[in-house]
Amino acid sequence: MNVRDALNAAVEVLEPAGVESPRLDAEILLGHALGVSRTELYAEPEREISESEEERLRGFVERRARREPVAYILGEWGFRRLTLAVDARVLIPRPETEVVVERCLERLARLEAPRVLDVGTGSGAIALALADEHPGASVIATDISADALSLARENRDRLGLGGRVELVLGHFDARLPGPFDLVVSNPPYVRPEDFESLQPEIRLYEPREAVVGVGAHAAVARRARELLRPGGWLVFECGDEQAGEVSETLRSLGYGEVTASRDLAGRDRVVEGCWRP
């Protein structure tokens, strides 16, 4: 079998399984099975693949056809400038969360050595990207899941950010040594009644406690009032159509300069406010 035939065969399995982008996923999985980039696949459509490579590809395609996310099959995912290890212990970092990091960096730009708190860190995506992109930042990152924290630790240590990112097991409400210049959180925000309508990739594979949550923004915002220095910023990711409600929560808790920013698809997904008691 050559590369072209292998791709066509994979698409024939993925398409009827309801996978949203069967050709793209087939290319990624074949590249992974062969240890080459997608560009290299295009360059050599006639390249013969060995039986063991075909076997590897078949395993990946079967997993994808059961709707396991590509990121878990690869075991890693790109986020900002980093490649993070990901598996079923953590939510896969999303493109909209890169906008959250962007907003945080903007708020931290004029500070030489800011202290940051990332609440619900999962894979460590936000905390690690901030430490990577702001060389003076020191970050405390919390999560209620010991499993998530163990993966965040692996990512942190592999990236050599151990000296600047501290990982702490704890609830949203945890009392931590402040003051912080910025508190950021992408908390679980899917309503329980919406869970069944999510794609199988999320519903069947991602940790439910990372996805489903009610009132998390308010809980974090309430605690952040005690943790932020006056003039410090709270930055949230929120769900589609939640920006208005989350903005209102921040205003009612005494935050000022509350604004929403759009994700790459043009939807308001990041809400931030300044703590000026």
Which residues of the chain form contacts with ligand SAM (CB under 6 A)?
90-91, 93, 97, 120-123, 125-126, 142-145, 148, 171-172, 186-188, 209-210
Residue 267 one-letter amino acid: R
In the complex, minimum distance from the CB of residue 171 to ligand SAM, in angstroms, rounded to a whole number:
4
In the complex, minimum distance from the CB of residue 234 to ligand SAM, in angstroms, rounded to a whole number:
15
Taking the least distance from each CB to ligand SAM, the nearer of 47 and 94 is 94
DSSP assigned state of 20: S
In the complex, minimum distance from the CB of residue 147 to ligand SAM, in angstroms, rounded to a whole number:
8
Number of C-beta neighbours around residue 235 at 10 A: 25
In the complex, minimum distance from the CB of residue 275 to ligand SAM, in angstroms, rounded to a whole number:
20
In the complex, minimum distance from the CB of residue 119 to ligand SAM, in angstroms, rounded to a whole number:
6
In the complex, minimum distance from the CB of residue 213 to ligand SAM, in angstroms, rounded to a whole number:
6
Angle between helix 22-34 and helix 3-14 axes, rounded to 10 deg: 130
Taking the least distance from each CB to ligand SAM, the nearer of 121 and 247 is 121
Q: Which residue has the tokens 């982008």?
A: 21
Taking the least distance from each CB to ligand SAM, the nearer of 14 and 126 is 126
Is the preceding peptide bond at 179 cis, omega within 30 degrees of 0? yes
Q: How far apart are CA 126 and CA 79, in angstroms?
A: 9
Taking the least distance from each CB to ligand SAM, the nearer of 65 and 100 is 100
The per-residue b/e assignment along 75-89, b for 16 or more CB within 10 angstroms, e otherwise, is eebebbebebbbeeb
Taking the least distance from each CB to ligand SAM, the nearer of 155 and 247 is 155
Structure tokens at 198: 């999510």
In the complex, minimum distance from the CB of residue 27 to ligand SAM, in angstroms, rounded to a whole number:
25
Q: What is the CA radius of gyration of the chain?
A: 21
Task: Please calculate the CA angle 207-80-151 and round it to the nearest 5 degrees.
Answer: 35
Q: How far apart are CA 12 and CA 14, in angstroms?
A: 6
CA count, 13 A, side-chain hemisphere, 259: 9
Taking the least distance from each CB to ligand SAM, the nearer of 27 and 237 is 237
Taking the least distance from each CB to ligand SAM, the nearer of 40 and 173 is 173
